């Protein structure tokens, strides 16, 4: 009888844990996927409600504020590229006009290996937004943005 009681109790525990296993595996998989997304695809995007020329100037001001050295400009099919370099970081900023008043920015900060530095690219976006807000306040306007990290 005692063995049957133990078996019944263990069966109840295992049934209860089987649901937790699925939840635990999904949470573990989601967090691992997030870590890999930031490690392998560490690209930061943001759309600003500002013309491309203003976003370009704000991006350059952000790089300067952060002590990241500007290297060069380039043009690509949909807009402009800004190349910059920090210690052990290669920065690429794509500025793509969506309309006369909306501009999409895509920033990558590669840390010299296969991985990307999402924290640095996110900070460049934040500093760009700060520069746009400062410029907007000086003109009496505001800045609106949306992001995807």
For the chain, 149 residues long, give each residue's pLDDT as a single digit of tens.
566 566 666 565 555 555 555 544 444 444 444 433 444 567 899 999 999 999 999 999 999 999 999 999 999 999 999 999 998 899 999 999 999 999 999 999 998 777 888 899 999 999 999 999 987 666 665 555 555 44
- Structural domain count of the chain: 2
Report the pLDDT value the prediction gives residue 135, as an integer from 0 to 100: 78
The SS3 assignment for 105 reads strand
pLDDT at residue number 50: 95
Domain of residue 9, residue span: 1-40
Residue with tokens 């990558």: 108
Q: Is the pTM of this model over 0.85?
A: no
Burial class from Cβ neighbours inside 10 Å (0-12, 13-18, 19+) for residue 83 reads middle
Confidence at residue 87, expressed as pLDDT on a 0 to 100 scale: 87
- Distance between CA atoms of 130 and 132, rounded to whole angstroms? 5
Q: Could you tell me if 51 and 32 lie in one domain? A: no
Query: Is residue 27 located within the same domain as residue 91?
Result: no
Give the pLDDT confidence score for residue 36 in this predicted structure.
Answer: 34
Are 35 and 53 within one domain?
no
Task: State the CB neighbour count (10 A cutoff) for residue 60.
Answer: 17
């Amino acid at each position: 009888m005692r063995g049957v009681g133990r078996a019944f109790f263990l069966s109840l525990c295992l049934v209860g844990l089987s649901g937790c296993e699925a939840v635990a595996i999904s949470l573990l998989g989601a967090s691992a996927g997030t870590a890999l997304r930031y490690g392998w695809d560490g690209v930061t995007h943001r759309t600003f409600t500002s013309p491309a020329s203003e976003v370009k100037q704000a991006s350059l001001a952000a790089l300067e504020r952060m002590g990241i050295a500007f290297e060069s400009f380039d043009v690509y099919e949909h807009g402009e590229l800004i190349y910059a370099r920090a210690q052990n970081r290669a920065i690429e900023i794509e500025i793509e006009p969506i309309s006369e008043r909306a501009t999409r920015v895509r920033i990558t900060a590669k840390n010299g290996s296969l991985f990307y530095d999402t924290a640095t690219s996110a900070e460049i976006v934040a500093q760009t937004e700060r520069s746009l807000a400062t410029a907007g306040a000086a003109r009496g306007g505001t800045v609106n943005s949306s992001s995807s990290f």
